[in-house]
Amino acid sequence: MGAAVTDGPDAALVSAALSAAGEEPGVVRLARIPGGASREVYLAESEAGRWVLRRDPPGAESFTPLAVEHQILGAAAAAGVPVPRPIRFEGQGGSFGSAGFLMEHVAGDSVAPRLLRREEYESARRALPEQLGRALARIHAIDPRSVTDLPMPEGDPAIAACELWESEIDRVGEPLPAVEAGLRWLRLNPPPPPSRQALVHGDFRLGNFIVDDDGLAAVIDWELAHAGDPAEDIGWLTIRSWRFGNDDLPVAGIGALEPFLAAYEAAGGVAPAAERLRWWEAMGNVKWAVICARQAHDHLDGRRVSHELASLGRRICEPEWDLLELVGGG
Amino acid sequence: MQDRPTAPELLDAVAGYLFAELRPTVVREQRFPLLVAANLCAVVARELRAGSDPDLADLALFREAAGTPPAEPLVPVVASPEAEADARRAAAELAKLIREGRLDGRLAETVSMLREHVRRKLEVARPGYDV
């Protein structure tokens, strides 16, 4: 909640790390930015500028290590994807207390309801669907083998996704028969394996886009990045939960699919067939349902006590409904 | 028996206070968490008003989907913890059968039955989502 940092990283060490990377920050103040699911995010501010520090919560695990995330940001920037420029990574025991990296601060807004409803973002909304299509095509053009230690599921990515979310359900320990039925259908009806594995962002949706008056300023939150079927990112982007009430606008609650896919193809992407997209949209609903259950249990188990996380236990039924519509609707 | 207000009526009162009175006074970063809190009160009020009927209906549905004959007559109970625990156990058994592929022969039927279970949850948690 932007509160003063007590057991967080040391501001003087962060300032020194910025200096070592060639910045000239002077005296830095740190403020926690709320919202990171499995990372801590801090705004580092001084009279000379603003930077962002992303680090592991001390003692926590993460799906994609921060060293990899830092590396991906560099690769994405080089590929022409709008991202915050990465500045400096330090491992466990470095300047940040736990593993983390500094990046430039990108001005703008990422809060979905504001972006969808406020008049001031009208021209941004017009530009966004095509900007997202282009950005995603550039992400998918990055060779996943060029990223050291990128999570790289073995075999068919569709089957790997089924296995991943089954094991997540088991870890949470909550019976979810509707999700299981959807998952079973997905397992029995996978799309053909993709012609190639791409770098998949893993959480490409409204909320992880920094938007300014001109539209897309940066794609952030790469912590779920992995190698896989590029259609996974498009399916996830379009699940109903990420339309935030604008149910008939699949691209971030802002636009139709066609102009987005046209921009994706114009920038070098290969638009997936409708059936493949539908499969990954259904899988996206599996993923969101299980994440809701997992976050509710993070609260119940005392890992992160929060009524907002607790409330997600009553939202599992939303992606469950959409999942069963997608697999049962024919 | 407690005196009025009933439990859901009290939650309605708390939701009304949070939403109408407190919300305009809090700092911007607290508005969304506060809306979540107010909405949770409304959800739980609906859940209490629904009583044990949804749990009992789900228990019957899970058993039928799993092919388990109803062992004992399903009598509506006043206190819900038993019905809820039974339904949760039956859900776990059904989930296991689905995962193991033992219902693959009637998966489409299972999916359409489970839509009714999800519909019941939505009636409490997010009315109107399934239209």
Q: In terms of CA atoms, which chain A residue is nearest residue B111?
A: A181
Confidence of residue B131 (pLDDT cuts 50, 70, 90): confident
A321 contacts B118? CB cut-off 8 A: yes
Report the alpha-carbon distance of residue A323 to residue A177 in Å, rounded: 12
Quick check: A305 pLDDT over 80?
yes
- The pLDDT mean for chain A works out to 93
Candidates A112, A279, A309, A99; CA nearest to A205 is: A112
Would you call B99 an interface residue with chain A, using a CB distance cutoff of 8 Å? yes
**Structural class in CATH, domain A11-104:** alpha beta
- The C-alpha atoms of residue B122 and residue B129 are separated, in whole angstroms, by 7
pLDDT at A330: 47
* Confidence band of A204 (pLDDT split at 50, 70, 90): very high
CB contact under 8 A, B122 and A328: no
Q: Is some CB atom of chain B closer than 8 A to the CB atom of A245? A: no
Cβ neighbours of B112 in A, within 8 Å? 328
Q: How crowded is the C-beta side of A69, counted as CA atoms within 13 Å?
A: 28
Q: Measure CB to CB from residue A175 to each of B33, B43, B92 and give the nearest one.
A: B92
Quote the minimal CA–CA distance from B55 to chain A in Å.
14
Decide if B10 touches A, using CB distance below 8 A.
Answer: no
Which residue among B36, B92, B119 places its CB closest to the CB of A307? B36
Q: Which residue has the tokens 């990899």?
A: A68
Which residues of chain A neighbour B29 with C-beta distances below 8 Å? 1-2, 34
pLDDT at A329 over 80: no
Helices (H), B1-131: 7-16, 31-50, 53-66, 81-99, 107-125
Provide, rounded to the nearest whole percent, the portion of chain A with pLDDT above 90.
85
Question: Which residues in chain A touch residue B117, judged by CB atoms under 8 angstroms apart?
Answer: 177-178
Instruction: Find the DSSP H helices in A141-204.
Output: 157-172, 177-188
DSSP notation for A63-105: SS-HHHHHHHHHHHHHTT---PPEEEEE-TTSTTSSSEEEEE-
The answer to whether residue A221 scores a pLDDT higher than 60 is yes
Residue limits of CATH 3.30.200.20 in chain A? 11-104
DSSP structural state of residue B106: G
**Residue B62: alpha-carbon gap to chain centroid:** 14
Per-residue pLDDT at B75 exceeds 70: no
Q: What is the pLDDT of residues A43-80, one digit of tens each?
A: 999 999 999 999 988 776 566 789 999 999 999 999 99
Q: A1: which chain B residues are within 8 Å (Cβ-Cβ)?
A: 29-30
pLDDT at A34: 76
**How many C-beta neighbours within 10 Å does residue A239 have?**
24
So what's the pLDDT on residue B71?
59
Residue of chain B minimizing CA distance to A188: B104
* Residue A285 C-beta-side C-alpha neighbours within 13 Å: 29
Lowest mean pLDDT among A99-113, A297-311, B67-81, B82-96: B67-81
Helix (H) or strand (E) holding A309: helix A307-311
**Rounded-to-integer distance, Cα A124 and Cα A216, Å:** 7
Question: What topology is assigned to A112-328 in CATH?
Answer: Aminoglycoside 3'-phosphotransferase; Chain: A, domain 2 (3.90.1200)
When CB atoms are compared, the residue of B40, B98, B112 closest to A177 is B98
At A2, the pLDDT band (50, 70, 90 cuts) reads very low
Contact call for A175 and B115, based on CB within 8 A? no
In whole numbers, what is the pLDDT of chain B averaged over residues?
91
Assess contact for A178 and B114: CB atoms under 8 A.
Answer: yes
pLDDT surpasses 90 at B113:
yes
Q: Nearest residue on chain B to A165, judged by CA atoms?
A: B99
Nearest chain A residue to B37 by CA distance is A307
**Across the interface, do B111 and A176 touch by the CB < 8 Å criterion?**
no
Taking an 8 Å cut-off on Cβ atoms, the answer to whether A1 and B119 are in contact is no
How far, in Å, CA of A124 to CA of A210, rounded? 11
Q: Taking the domains of chain B in order of start, what are their residue ranges?
A: 7-50, 53-125
* First-to-last C-alpha distance (Å) of chain B: 37
Q: Which of A178, A188, A328 is nearest residue B104 as measured by Cβ atoms?
A: A188
Residue B55 in tokens: 């749990």
Measure the CA angle with vertex B99, ends A61 and A312; round to 5°.
50
Among A324, A325, A326, A327, the residue to mutate for chain B (most B Cβ within 10 A): A324
ipTM: 0.93
**Where does CATH 3.90.1200.10 sit in chain A?**
112-328
Question: B69 vs A79, which has greater pLDDT?
Answer: A79
pLDDT at A39: 85
pLDDT in the model for residue A35: 66
Contacts of B85 (CB under 8 A, 6+ apart): none
- Average pLDDT estimate for A229-257: 97
Does residue B31 belong to the interface with chain A, where contact is any CB pair within 8 Å?
Answer: no
d(CA A78, CA A150): 17
**pLDDT on residue B81:** 74
Which residue, chain included where needed, has tokens 């409803």? A117
Pick from B43, B107, B115: CB nearest A184: B107
Dihedral, A103, A104, A108, A113 alpha carbons, nearest 10: 0
Helix (H, G, I), strand (E, B) or coil at B103: coil
Q: Count of A–B CB contacts within 8 Å? A: 92
For A177, the closest of B94, B107, B130 (CB atoms) is B94
Q: CA angle A112-A114-A118, nearest 5°?
A: 135
Q: Where are the beta strands (DSSP E) in chain A?
A: 29-33, 40-46, 49-55, 86-90, 100-104, 198-200, 209-212, 215-219, 226-228
Q: Is A314 on the interface with B (CB under 8 A)?
A: yes
